[in-house]
Structure 1
Amino acid sequence: GDRNKQMKLDRQEWNTEKIWKRSLKWSIFIIISLIITHWMFMYIVGYQEVFDMIQEGPFTNFTSFLVMIIFTAAFYFTFAWFREQVCTLVCPYGRLQGVLIDKQTINVYYDFKRGENRAKWRKGEDRKAAGKGDCIDCNQCVVVCPTGIDIRDGQQLECVNCTACIDACDEVMVKVGLPKGLIRYATEDEIEKETKFKFTGRMQAYTAILLLLIGFLGFLLNNRGAMEAKFIKPAGSSFFVRDGKINNTYNYTFLNKSNQDQVVTIKVIEPQHGEITVSASDKILVKRDQMTKGTVNISFPEKEVKLSKQNVKIGVYDQKGELLDTFETYFEGPFKLQF
């Protein structure tokens, strides 16, 4: 229920109703904590790995299971007891914001010039003639605040800009027939000097920079490759000669960033005359949003290898022959004296 119902339940004796409601609430908190923990693990190790761990059981992956229990307990502790103290004691956001704002920063403010002197509401009273402000001291802005601060005391580090106080105050103002906006988004100068909002030069500059950053982000997202490929020589490996050709082995990693499965082929772009031998098949299936690993051999005729270590450029192509990605690495051969 609302705040009053919750306070009443706190004072109530432990009967069937209280046990049922508290058990339901704690169960919901545990379920939410478990969901958050599993999602966090999926983000780190991948959803398939998490599903595999669940099927294998806790004792097969005991360390991972123990970590998940610890994180679930931490989230449950936050939901059940720590709550707003995360914002007031742990989270550095408020302290960082405190050193970044000035009198021209838009924030959640109480219009003290309009609201003071605050006094209880009396129907039919001319508050202006009585020297009273628009604040009727109903305390609703404090009641709804998740961190328990009084916004009428000024801007405070604990404020998380949730604007619950704005909504509560506007609702009260409508009921008593006074203008909304006693608590609103404004600058400190706007409140103190009673001036209207101005789109200042600094705000225009910040807006332009923000739009440029958004545009650049959109450009990067639009131009990112559908496939990311890497070819790395195994540690300690060297070349070998077979049928008059010098061979090098590479471990490949393909990351499919598109929303559809890709069947790819590998070719040596530079230098020419390079041949690719894939361990399984010439064509490699890379499922959408997944990573595929394997091994390939690259070979050159002995007469084409001029240096003991030379650069090679490898391309990855789709079924239509379009180049998806390239990767530059090196190719090892026998040492040759250069005259």
Structure 2
Amino acid sequence: MKIAVLYGGTSKEREVSLSTGEGMINALRQLGYDVVAIDFDPAKLTQHISELENVDFVLIGLHGKQGEDGRVQGFLELLGLPYLGSGVLASSLAMDKSRSKQIFANEGLPIARSQTFNKKMDVKEIYQQIINTFDCPFVIKPNQEGSTLGLTFVHHQEEIEKAIQLAFSHDDQLLVEDFVEGRELTVSVFGNQGEEEALPIIEIIPKNKYYDYEAKYSVGGSEHIVPAKIAEPLTDKIQSLAVKAHQALGCESYSRVDFILNEQDEPIILEVNTLPGMTPTSLYPDAAAAVGLNYEQMLDKLIGLAMKNY
């Protein structure tokens, strides 16, 4: 089978995507697939259409905008090419933190209190609404961005204006969210729609104060404890919430759901990642390893799962 890997891209997460793409390409070659590696650029669609001729299946190793947000998925669907992962709508909803939180709230899933602001609003008005609504510490982040890019943990009021400007440098909308103190957890979800199951919970212990970009992608930047040391009833609850969040957005094949377990042992859903990282330090491969699947076996299983839907 001839499989194309779209990786790289033009988003601010390009470096992460290059690493994900490299991991996918190497694994596919070890599995004996015929691989077409495409460093994806939206400005070169005509070239990419030519490169995708006679391809049987596509892996999307892109992260961030024009990768995770449904646009590439729509491009592949117009070409009639099967691919691994969520479709246009689910990808777009998961990328839009504000919209996904609304869906989670409607489904009764636990989320942190938040408020969304548009770039067209006056910064002074945004500032005033924030200080009237939120007590420090809280988080200001772009509404559609990944890998903690543009995110600020605000501890003092004098940090707010700079945090607003930073978030708006990444996106036209920002999200202000209560900071939840607790344990960083993530749950990988796997399976066809209606048959999804959660892999073992991973607890993330960052070497930095927060689980920031460096902690996520630097070798040794964080410790992954898998399975997380959590009592069985709570483990079952968190895994169930992960599957429900995945299903609420209409995700397909696989995703990764991030949580904070607060000091009262209440899990709070942060976001759903429809294209979880597949770098050497990524979490999804770690969860797969905990159930006896190495990187190559994990990828082969995901491809087989997705191909059944076409």
Higher Rg: 1
TM-score after normalising by structure 2: 0.23
